[in-house]
Structure 1
């Protein structure tokens, strides 16, 4: 079975793996998957579209108003009990590729000297002409002025790798909608976080008892830990009180590396995930 880049990307999200496992038992509608995984129907449909693009699931129209989704031969080969080894191999490949990318970055970009490290002094062979020690100087630290709207403070990430703070942050808010569901203070929403192409992209929705708001996002960074905080902003006008959701998405531009990303809404953590940016 051929495992292409699109398949690996589709399997990178835990939610889509859960959907594949569920469809491995029997075909289901988006509504059934939404209740089973405790996700909004729109979010489930978006994940199904990604899996359908990777030829892992297919849409089955029965002629009625319900649309079912089932596994393709390719999807069945990954999750069916008769070939569990292939599913494990695919997950192992994803982990190996991510680890190899991180190690390659670590080997190529680890600084030769760090602050506070003891310098190494080697004795050259007899007869070799070298410069006097007094002429060997450490490079002076320089500061390049940057515009006030950008943050470019250098810090040290995992493994002593020198990384740079976020160079661009974009956050978009969608329009809130009402839906029939149980509102739980403990469950504020869901988010998908992906690291690729020197970006960390995120998308999802928050659950609120007052969806007549738009969302605003800000971020803070401490070493390799990134916190994205989402707040509500009233849009004014007349609003019908209901339980609903507000979608959002965005991305951060930053260097390759390993990051811990946490997304918070109303002082509640929606998602926390370790992400490798390649």
Structure 2
């Protein structure tokens, strides 16, 4: 994980409750001097002094968004202070999920449905068994036949036909898509490392 090194000047800047409150306000969105002054219920010159201290320690930056007023936002260092690991964890989890998806697609392209334990013959036999068991008049009452018989058989047939649709696609397509997804996961993880240095 990325380290946050706090210097003596940073400690001095954070020793004031007003400056800590300013950092918390800027964590939610950018503010200008007037907004900060009204939210803190302090005079504008007093808030400006606190902002100057935070600017000197590089905990906040002046956001130049082309507005008439000067807006302030958290710097990268300030964001690390407020949210040290939340965004890092999300990026790592997302790259892991995308990577597993890519590996699964590559495995499918190399091994086919045998890796999943599914074959086209077992799909067709399972359709017949499901249809026989669900629609058997001896086992079900008329109410259950109406509720489960029509809907259950149809759902089972729809689910197995969706699996058969994947079986018709060429395996090289899954290999290419899997490699691309895995490369995306790697780049996402690499970007995470570059963001938090």
Q: TM-score, normalised by structure 2?
A: 0.40
Larger Rg: 2
Q: Compare relative contact order (CA 8 Å, sep 6+) and give the higher one, 1 or 2.
A: 2
* TM-score, length-scaled by structure 1: 0.29
Larger % of helix: which? 2
Greater fraction of residues in strand? 1
